[in-house]
Amino acid sequence: MTLAYPSIWTRHEDGVLFATLDAGPLNLLGVDLVRDLVDLVNMPYTDPGDMRVVVIDSASPDYFSAHVDLSAVPQYTAEAAKADGPGSASLGMFLHGWHASQ
């Protein structure tokens, strides 16, 4: 099973979802990557199948994720302001989903 996200590659094997961040050389946290991460952490609740664990790594050999993409702050702020639920591109929703899964 493979899930399609623009900035994350995935593969599902024997109850493990492997997710590889691939959002440029630094995997900067911008609107697209955050939206994909929100979807990824919520997916086990909407379609768990036999998934027991999610392993996240990076396509970059040098960085997992360097930081928030500061050049996209206005776009990110606009997206976060209209966040209305679990699928929203909001870092808060990502962290909420991550916390809920712990």
User: Would you give per-residue pLDDT tens digits along the chain (102 residues)?
Assistant: 567 889 999 998 998 989 999 998 889 888 888 888 888 887 777 776 788 888 999 999 988 988 878 887 787 777 777 766 555 566 666 666 555 554
98: exposed, middle or buried (C-beta count within 10 Å: 0-12, 13-18, 19+)?
middle
Pull the structure tokens for residue 49: 């199948």
pTM: 0.73
